[in-house]
Amino acid sequence: MTAKIIDGKALATQVKQAVRGEVEKLVAAGVLPGLAVVLVGDDPASQIYVRNKKKNCEELGIASQVYHLPADTKEEELKALVDQLNADPKVHGILVQLPLPAPLREEEVTAQINPEKDVDGFHPVNLGRLLRGEKGLCPCTPAGILALIKASGVEVVGRDCVVVGRSNIVGKPVAHLLLQEHATVTICHSRTRNLADLTRRADLLVVAVGKAGLIDGSMVKPGAVVIDVGMNRLPSGKVVGDVDFPSVLEVAGAITPVPGGVGPMTIAMLMKNTVEAAILQNGEKLGKD
């Protein structure tokens, strides 16, 4: 048996087509969705991510502005910029690119963003809404993971799901999204004993730890859906996930590739969140409650 490849690029294209349609409706109603991205310092990976976000905005008709600050920017200066963007009615989404250079505190800066403009979904208010199962801006990667699982055709209700990784960005939020879909969820981490015993039980396995090849075919239940969130660059320059793709491909029922799986969905869900934020902030103008 060879697993079905879950094509993140193809699904992301579908999501972005839907977003483009929503943007056209908003523009016709007099609302131009706007995203502000704040980049502090000169981290090469962050610069690539920011350029990619701006490019996607341009493709979909979303207004975008990048604020590039020096690495030695003071926290008060960064927060002042966030406040300025919070007050700007043309800016519907604010994204502060992470990681921030030390000694800037990511939690403090994230909490400064207006929750209605928090398109990353990292504000404590939005994470609280997720925990309570309430409507809010959801973290992009977990939202993309759920969309990929549904695209695989698997029924989530009642399934045994194992999430390897407990970060606030992926592990914890995706676990709560799966709970909302009525799955039975186990979260594993660096101190979990007998990891393989747990992962072999999973109908749905989400791996997000940042360790190349952590999960191999012997650790996967035959026919399971495997979502690989990891993105690790090997000394050779090759980018691989947290899952040993060749061995798991022969066991799983469906699997996301790296690259081309979760990554494209993250940016697509960011675009979707930006449009949802614009709708949320212009409910009266759009005739919505």
Q: Residue 255 to residues 8, 114, 170, 217: CA-CA distances in angstroms? A: 10, 36, 18, 12
Dist. CA 153–CA 162, nearest whole Å: 18
Whether 4 and 152 have beta carbons less than 8 Å apart is answered as: yes
Query: Among this protein's residues, is 112 annotated catalytic?
Result: no
- Among residues 16, 112, 120, 281, the one annotated as catalytic is 120
Q: Is 97 tagged catalytic?
A: yes
Is residue 232 packed enough to be buried (19+ CB in 10 Å), middle (13-18) or exposed (0-12)? middle
Catalytic residue among 16, 53, 117, 172: 53
- Residue type for position 195: L
Q: Is 53 annotated as catalytic?
A: yes
Among residues 97, 203, 242, 272, the one annotated as catalytic is: 97
Q: What is the 8-class DSSP label of residue 232? A: E
Report the SS3 class of residue 136: coil
Contact criterion met (CB below 8 Å) for 12 and 272: no
Q: Identify the CA nearest to 205 among candidates 267, 154, 280, 168.
A: 154
User: What is the CB neighbour count within 10 angstroms for residue 283?
Assistant: 10
Active-site residues, by number, are: 53, 97, 120
